[in-house]
Amino acid sequence: MLNKIANLHKLCFPDKPWDAEEFASLQRSGAQIIVSKNGFIVWRCAADECEIITIGVHPDYRGTGVADALLQLIEKEISAKKIFLEVAENNHAARKLYERNGYKQIATRPKYYDNIDAIIMEKRL
Ligand SMILES: CC(C)(COP(=O)(O)OP(=O)(O)OC[C@H]1O[C@@H](n2cnc3c(N)ncnc32)[C@H](O)[C@@H]1OP(=O)(O)O)[C@@H](O)C(=O)NCCC(=O)NCCS
């Protein structure tokens, strides 16, 4: 399972792939992982908040509803009051995905990813 998510992560984030050990370390820190045939999501909850740590869909399967399904799945798994995440300002596909799923921009972190702003988004459940 961890090799599979690492392989998918490399396809989704070729510049910064995380290996299986990094996912194992996330699990040890309390993160939850769902990996399906064509996508993955990793999140961690503390008290009544959850953070989406990463999400990705195999490039050949984008636009097919996999990412929507993963976001909806974790809402069934968690009992938190809000979910938050960070996304690069120029990651238009991800921002559209989150907006369509009810996430709202609440803050920005200027120049967080090298020269690109990070947008903090939140969904209240
Ligand atoms: C982000 C990601 C998970 C979305 O998965 P997906 O299957 O493409 O999701 P969707 O099909 O819902 O596409 C999201 C929206 O972005 C649009 N879109 C896709 N590529 C786009 C682009 N380059 N520019 C603008 N919009 C784009 C889609 O048309 C869709 O818009 P719609 O809601 O109006 O139809 C996927 O693109 C991915 O794995 N990206 C690489 C990893 C990543 O960036 N993860 C998020 C980190 S915060």
- Buried b / exposed e across 11-47, counting CB within 10 Å, b at 16+? ebeeeeebeeeebeebeeeebbbbbbebbbbbbebee
Measured CA distances, 34 to 7, 71, 73, 102, 123 (Å): 14, 10, 9, 21, 20
Q: What separation in Å is there between the alpha carbon of 30 and the centre of ligand 1?
A: 27
Q: State pTM to two decimals.
A: 0.93
The pLDDT score that the predictor gives to residue 68 is 97
What is the identity of the amino acid at 48?
D
- How, if at all, do strands 82-88 and 116-124 pair? antiparallel
Cα(62) to centroid(ligand 1), Å: 7
pLDDT by residue (tens digit) across 82-92? 999 999 999 99
Q: In this structure, what DSSP letter does residue 82 have?
A: E
* Cα–Cα distance measured from residue 67 to residue 121, given in angstroms and rounded to the nearest whole number: 16
For residue 87 and ligand 1, the question of a CB distance below 6 A is answered with yes
Could you identify the atom of ligand 1 that is nearest to the CA of residue 94? 1
Task: Categorize the per-residue pLDDT at 113 as very low, low, confident or very high, splitting at 50, 70 and 90.
Answer: confident
Looking at ligand 1, which residue's alpha carbon is closest to its atom 32? 96
Cβ neighbours for 29, distance < 8 A, ≥ 6 positions apart: 44
Say if ligand 1 is within 6 A of residue 93 CB.
yes
What is the number of the ligand 1 atom nearest to the C-alpha of 86? 48
Q: Does the Cβ of 99 fall within 6 Å of ligand 1?
A: no
To the nearest whole number, what is the mean pLDDT of the chain?
A: 96
Which domains, and CATH codes, for the chain? 2-124 (3.40.630.30)
Alpha carbon 61 to its chain's center: 16
